[in-house]
Amino acid sequence: MVRSYYSLPLQTKKIVSHKEAEQCSIQESISNFIHLITTTHFGECTFDESFGCSIWSVDFDNLTTTNKLKDIITTSLHESITNKEKRLKNITLKVVIKQDEFINNTNLNRVKKRVDIKINGVICLTNETFSCIEKFYIAPLSY
Provide the pLDDT for residue 54.
86
Q: How far apart are the first and last CA of the chain?
A: 36
79-126 residue pLDDT tens: 999 999 999 999 999 999 888 777 777 666 777 788 899 999 999 999
Provide the pLDDT for residue 121.
97
Closest alpha carbon to 35 in 128, 121, 130, 117? 117
Do 34 and 81 contact (CB within 8 A), yes or no?
yes
Q: Please give the domain boundaries of the chain with CATH numbers for all domains.
A: 40-138 (3.10.450.40)
**Higher confidence at residue 114 or residue 133?**
133
- pTM for the complete prediction? 0.83
Biggest alpha carbon distance in the chain?
A: 59
Residue 38 pLDDT greater than 70, yes or no? yes
Mean pLDDT, rounded, for 52-81: 84
Do 83 and 65 contact (CB within 8 A), yes or no?
no
Average pLDDT, the chain: 86
Alpha carbons 88 and 129: distance in angstroms, whole number? 9
